[in-house]
Amino acid sequence: MRGAAPLPRAFVLCLGFLFLYAPIALVILYSFNASRLATVWGGWSLRWYGALLENEQLLASAATTAEAAVASATIATILGTLAAIALDRFARFRSRTLFAGMIYAPLVLPEVVMGLALLLLFVSLGLERGFVTLVVAHATLGLGFVTVIVRARLVGVDRTLEEAAADLGAGPVTTFCRITLPLIFPAVAAGFLLAMTLSLDDLVLASFTTGPGSTTLPMRIYSEVRLGVSPQVNAVSTLMIAFVWLSLAAAALLDRWRRSTRVP
């Protein structure tokens, strides 16, 4: 009886992977479909990738999404790292609970509520919705995630290394740049990638905070899907999947290279 247990577990595991990755495989497959109907197979073709390169609106939305993702992730990483340091290294300061609550609020608030709140804020400040408000909204969303990741890494950092640097005459900035930052850099990089992923994937916040001239790729795809699925949507989705896979492969190779070159 015990020998038969691994088979059902493997079967359930295969079903789980099939449920997760079969839709992605279908999107990739139908991106090479020659038919005009996205759900009817008409043979192999690259015509929709060529048509995608001629779709200026879709390419403009992709460029806007990428620029907003990089900008918002950079802002969220800088502010999130500083917030994590403040919460971990300065354990007692006035309004610490309020500060932590404001940092972690985007993690638990529904995106609809957060989007509406940001929209009311921008309207009350007289800011015209566009690329800047989109970046601010996505940076606000990613800030809490970066703080959680970096703070978790800071807890495991040996503080005696920082104290030794201070005893040797290094100032706070030098200690942070030469000692603390290299130790927490993997967490900082992970927070940056997560914040960028959240920005690339976001639809709800962008719907509230962006303007007509700054339509993101998820908004463009959603609007086209409502009118009928175009094979170009499969093509652009496949390119996004390829970008993610290449990024993961590059990160894995970089991590392997760092481990191989590390002095024992």
pLDDT grade for 160, boundaries at 50, 70 and 90:
confident
- With residue 254 as reference, give the H or E element that holds it: helix 231-261
pLDDT value, residue 139: 93
Q: Are 170 and 129 in contact (CB under 8 A)?
A: no
φ, ψ for residue 154, nearest 5 deg: -65, -30
Please give the DSSP secondary-structure letter assigned to residue 210: -
Residue pLDDT, tens place only, 1-38: 455 555 677 888 888 888 888 888 888 888 888 887 76
Task: Estimate the share of the chain in helix, then strand, then coil, as percent rounded to the nearest 5.
Answer: 80, 0, 20
Task: Tell me the residue type at 217.
Answer: L
Half-sphere exposure of 114 (CA within 13 A, CB side): 22
pLDDT above 90 covers a percentage of the chain that reads: 12
**Lowest-confidence pick of 91-105, 194-208, 230-244, 249-263:** 249-263
What are the start-end ranges of the H helices in the chain?
A: 6-30, 47-53, 56-89, 96-108, 111-125, 131-155, 159-167, 172-175, 181-201, 204-209, 217-227, 231-261
pLDDT value, residue 74: 94
Structural domains in the chain? 58-261 (1.10.3720.10)
Alpha-carbon gap, residue 233 to 238, rounded angstroms:
9
Closest CA to 48 of 62, 67, 65, 35: 35
Residue pLDDT, tens place only, 172-203: 788 888 888 888 888 898 889 889 888 988 88
CA 50 and chain centroid, separation: 28
Query: Which tokens in the block code for residue 211?
Result: 């303007």
pLDDT grade for 138, boundaries at 50, 70 and 90:
very high
